[in-house]
Amino acid sequence: MKLERPVKTIAIIGGGPSGAIALNTLLEEGEFEEIVLFERRNQLGGIWNLNDSKSDSTLNLTAEGVKDYSPDVPVFENGELIREGHNSPYQKFHGTAGYPGMRTNVTEDLMTFSDDTRWPWLIQPEEAGFTNAEAVHAYLLNYFEKVKGKANYSIELQTSVEEVTKPGGKFQLVLRKDLQDGKERWYKQQFDAVIVAPGNFNVPFIPTKYPGILDVNKDVLFHSRFYKDNKQFIDKTVLVIGSKVSGVDMVKLISPVAKELYISHRSTSSTIKSQNLPNVWKKPDIAKVEQRDDGKVSVQFKDDTVVIVDYIVFATGYQLSFPFLRKFDPDFTTGNRINNLYLHTFYTPDPLLISIGLYVSSLSYRAFEYQAITAARFLSGKGELPSKEEQQKWYNDRVDQYGDSKDFYFLNFDEKLDIFDELIKVGGGVEGNRRYFVLTEDQHRSREAARRRLEGLADTI
């Protein structure tokens, strides 16, 4: 299935890693008249840009989880703005999900793009091969610099995409640009194709399965997304929920100042004192929580032990959120996956809507690069998708295997990377204006090293 008409104008939503490789690759393809990248913040870099404030730290927790921003878009009539939009009563998550002290968990050779394979610096010697958020941010800013001087593109900072629809043959974007005087400019712009690349770390996921959690004072609840420093945890008793990367980070960042710290995760069946951190205990899953009159919270664990805590810190990940696409497709996402997405990239009902950056694996930026090359070739008319029936079957088979779990986009370390072969096939082969890279033996070993590191994270506590 090839395009019926050539694509000339493309919008990219998001200025993080996946937006960077999408912009660079589309420009290398050299077939498009206008490419516009929209970034809602005042600087590029996505989650690795730690320069924003973190004032948006209140969790609007309901039985369905955290309520996402839902824009009240302006009213246009005959192309003219007759009423400006208004902010939703639900929060909009402005600040970065990154936090001071955040480190990479993927090595340099896989968390860079194939045409620029070095970070500005590494952490040595205690974490050889890994680096900090500031280095990754500098790398991404340098990567965006590569396109300077090229024609037919623009980058619009402080511009959020509030709504995407397709009333005719083109996508129509409603855009809100923050102006220096505190005012906003609302306007519309049309494109032949849209690439969605806003990242996966926006709306916090808060599990509401724990009995009593919805009755807890919201000032007690905290998510790793909002971590700025550890001052509020000084001499406090803290419970961290989650034992993956952000959970371990929260323990290591908060425990030096906390009175006591507990970390709860499902793989622990009883209370275990940390061998490495003197004021830290590992706990099993939570049985129930109860708000106390003194403002503290009583937490009972499944081994029947009880602790009284000042804060509950959720390091439980994020839910996918695309509020700007609700009118285009109310069922676009379940929160854990995008519906009807072929190879995690092409939206089967309309393949001119493309997603880049959903892969969760040790391949990281190299996976985004495969997607970007395939998207650029398809949009230029050089690539070809299988029939809609074949695309839908691929997606349905994935749903049958993973359901609506967070593993839907995870490329297992021992999984054959057949999905990359399929992306190459859609793109018309390895060679092109930008060729697909082939993983080396050293990079396969890097994947294995990343697997071992992730599996051993909880043991470092």
Model pLDDT, residue 46: 92
For tokens 């049985």, the residue is 287
- In Å, how far from its chain's centre is CA 385? 26
Cβ–Cβ < 8 Å for 291, 216: yes
For tokens 């709306």, the residue is 203
Model pLDDT, residue 50: 87
Model pLDDT, residue 325: 93
Model pLDDT, residue 88: 42
In CATH terms, 9-203+318-451 corresponds, of 1.10.357.10, 3.30.460.80, 3.50.50.60, 3.40.50.1100, to 3.50.50.60
Could you state, in order of their start, the residue ranges of all structural domains in the chain?
9-203+318-451, 206-316
Residue 3 dihedral angles phi and psi, to the nearest 5°: -65, 140
Model pLDDT, residue 89: 41
Q: What is the pLDDT along the chain (461 residues), one digit of tens a residue?
A: 889 888 999 999 999 999 999 999 999 999 999 999 999 988 999 999 987 655 555 566 555 556 555 555 555 555 555 455 554 444 455 567 888 888 888 888 889 999 999 998 766 544 566 788 999 999 999 999 999 989 999 999 999 898 999 998 999 999 988 887 777 888 899 999 999 998 877 788 888 899 999 899 988 999 998 898 999 999 999 999 988 888 989 999 999 999 999 999 877 777 788 878 899 999 999 999 999 999 999 999 999 999 999 999 999 988 888 989 989 999 999 888 999 999 999 999 999 999 999 876 667 899 999 999 999 999 999 999 999 999 999 999 999 999 988 788 877 655 557 888 999 999 999 899 999 988 777 777 777 776 666 666 666 67
Gap between the Cα atoms of 89 and 70, Å rounded: 8
Model pLDDT, residue 245: 85
- Overall CATH class of domain 206-316: alpha beta
Cβ–Cβ < 8 Å for 230, 321: no
pLDDT digits (tens, 9 = 90+) for 158-213: 998 989 999 989 999 999 888 877 778 888 999 999 999 988 777 888 888 999 99
Model pLDDT, residue 59: 62
State how far the alpha carbon of 16 is from the alpha carbons of 111, 194, 231, 347, in Å: 13, 16, 29, 21
Hey, do 9-203+318-451 and 206-316 end up sharing a CATH topology, with the first three levels equal?
yes
Gap between the Cα atoms of 173 and 128, Å rounded: 44
Task: Report residue 229 as tokens.
Answer: 């420093």
What would the DSSP string read from start to end of 72-137? B--EEETTEEEE--B--SS----S-S--TT-B-SS-TTTSSBTTB---S----STTTT--BHHHHH
| H or E segment and range at residue 443 | helix 441-455
Model pLDDT, residue 393: 97
Model pLDDT, residue 112: 93
